[in-house]
Structure 1
């Protein structure tokens, strides 16, 4: 015979079953949390780290850049205009000379004797001519004889002047002012007529000649400012100007000549090679971005960071000045353009900007206004 269940036991049984189910469901829920988080992390797109710089206003210049060697504006090969022994060379290489300054003294003895000889012959002919002028009045000398004496006198006077000129050639003088660049004679050397003995260059003004493509013919004018950086003088910039522009384009090369002038001195010297920059236009308040921000896909465009994503933005560019380039259309002041990390981007890529600082600009080079 079965004993009937206690009423309290019948009440506790459903409660125990409910509690066991709740605990089982709770355990199942806790086991699924890591899996949900892993799936969520798998679906998330990682942000691409990039560097960006904001578009800003700054002065920018349009310029043409070329390379050239410096040439003296004037140069002279000093030659001996008569033969003789060099008794004294009065100058050395590197010495500054003035036009007309004595440079070399040649042996003058033969030239002096020629002057004395022609002077004596000239005095004799002059006396004969004066006497003949008196005698022709008395009809003791024919007019033709007087004319012959006058001709002989003038001829001897010219020979005397030539002898004096030859004597002056025994002192070799500087034809131009400048510096002695080379010397090919020493004391005691015999010098033949028309032999180069010295070379003088005028380094007070130096020229750099550029062969410029014809497309720049309308932009380059005389008087425009020019800057020069010489390879032999790193860290220094010399200022000059466009002196003259050839109006004719060479049909063979398609270029025209532009001559820039610089003041010479102790720094710039003839023969130095350098880079010449001609600024032909300036914008005082242009909107610019670093040149590295431009994409390399053939079109003028940049990536702009908007709402954490990259936006490919076409731009219209203007002048380029060093590491900066002018943007005339497509951007506004303060737009952040990507400068590093562009290759990993597409339109709409999620990005993380790790550096918004402007690129470091090299310290300004000292300008030497003497050059």
Structure 2
């Protein structure tokens, strides 16, 4: 019994000793100061005023300056097709011949009749002044000659209508008719498009109306030709603002070098605006947009190692171009602006600007 009590007392002593040591360790650990968290590394850009060459970006589409659907003016049967679909044709080139044998025969008869009336009129022209022929007969001969000539012109016009020609030079589209087919007036034969120059139609917000003017340069790009651009100039501005969109339609004439562009293409239009001096801009990733407005995160109170405090600052933005946004108000020269990861930076947190923070050495486009 004594031995059992001895072992029990020893076990309790060991247990209470372990509990005392554990509690003492916790109290001493709580009294030790907690080291501050390491500053969060962030990517920043140091802003400096630079000259700008801003653009107003918009989306739009291309439209042919000259494009028509070739169609007959009179009815007839096709007896000749003189073009190849997709080929280039010249102005006045014959495209389709309709059956005109009756008109050709009628023309021959009218020409014979006109020749006869011409001789009759020449005879009367000699006799009437001498009184050998009544003046009324002379007037009848002159009327008959004029009527015969008019009939010839009418028939020649019908013959001309039955030979369908290209109204201007361009590329002809797919053929929609076949040899021997009977056409009614207005039936489509093919489309003819002048690809040398095109219209670029795009819309801009009404607030940009004061910055748009005739003659401004427009740079057109399309995903069909990455890395290439086509220049044109503003040639027309729609005088009416859209009722639903409150946008203004602008039309530019673009020189289609190499005829690479096609009507109907989706395009990005970049309207070149007058440049400005001493403008601050930041990458578009630096600006956060919310219902409260546009904001950026600025690293303030930076030390020699680039460690500072993150502060949220409201800004007023301007034009956007090629991944950059002009800041009209809210930033000063030398401010370090966080460009990525703003959502994980709490206001007032310690951050460290990475060593690759850059200044705007290049002119903002």
> What's the offset of the Cα at 1:311?
3.3
| DSSP 3-state at the match of 2:180 | coil
Partner of 1:278: 271
Matched, 1:109 2:101: yes
Q: Deviation of residue 230 (structure 1)?
A: 1.9
Question: Which residue, out of 10, 35, 39, partners 2:28?
Answer: 35
- Partner secondary structure for residue 182 of structure 1: coil
**Counterpart selection for 2:206 from 181, 202, 214:** 214
Q: How many residues align structurally?
A: 329
2:69 is aligned with 1:80: no
User: 2:55 matched to which residue of 1?
Assistant: 63
Aligned equivalents of 2:238, 2:330: Cα separation in 1 = 39
Contact kept, 8 Å, 2:293 with 2:314, in 1: the verdict is yes
CA deviation string 1:243-280 (max 9, x = no partner): 22234445565443311122223421112112222122
Paired with 2:41 and 2:289, the residues of 1 have a C-alpha distance of 19
What pairs up with 1:70-149 in 2 under 5 angstroms?
A: 70-149=62-141
Change (3 A) 1:34 1:225: farther
Which of 190, 198, 201 is the matching residue for 2:193? 201
Q: Confirm whether residue 245 of structure 1 aligns to residue 237 of structure 2.
A: yes
Q: Distance in 1 between matches of 2:61 and 2:234?
A: 15
SS of the residue 2:106 aligns to: helix
**What's 2:252 paired with?**
260
CA contact (8 A) 2:70 2:192 kept: yes
Correspondence for 1:304 among 298, 306, 318: 298
Q: In the TM superposition, what is the alpha-carbon distance from 1:285 to its structure 2 partner?
A: 5.8
- Equivalent in the alignment of 1:166: 158
Residues of 1 paired with 2:97 and 2:344: CA distance?
78
- Cα contact 1:315–1:331 (8 A) shared by 2: yes
Residue 157 of structure 1: CA displacement? 0.7
The structure having more radius of gyration, on CA atoms, is 1
Query: Which of structure 1's runs of 4+ aligned residues deviate more than 6 A?
Result: 31-34
Aligned to 1:26: none
CA 1:341–1:211: 2 relative to 1, 3 Å: closer
**Shift of residue 123, structure 1, vs aligned partner:** 1.4
Aligned residue in 1 for 2:6: none
Q: Is the contact between residue 56 and residue 321 of structure 2 (CA under 8 Å) also seen in structure 1?
A: no
The residue number in structure 2 matching 1:187 is 179
TM-score (norm 2): 0.78
2: CA distance between counterparts of 1:138 and 1:327?
A: 98
Larger displacement relative to structure 2 (195-204 or 330-339):
330-339
Displacement of 1:327 after TM fit? 3.0
CA distance in 2, matches of 1:139, 1:252: 81
1:49: Cα distance to partner?
4.0
From the superposition, tell whether residues 352 and 194 of structure 1 become closer, same or farther in structure 2 (CA, over 3 Å): closer
Partner of residue 293, structure 1? 286
Normalization by structure 1: what TM-score? Answer: 0.77
Distance 1:229 1:344 in 2: 36
Task: Please give the per-residue CA displacement for 1:170-217, whole angstroms capped at 9, x wherever unaligned.
Answer: 432111111102322223333344433222011111112224333222
| Runs (5+) with no aligned partner, structure 1 | 1-30, 360-371
| Distance (Å, rounded) in 1 between the aligned partners of 2:285 and 2:205 | 26
1:54–1:38 distance in 2 versus 1, CA, 3 Å: farther
Residue 320 of structure 1 aligns to a residue whose secondary structure is strand
How far has the Cα of 1:344 moved from its partner?
4.4
Distance between the aligned counterparts of 1:316 and 1:198, measured in 2?
54
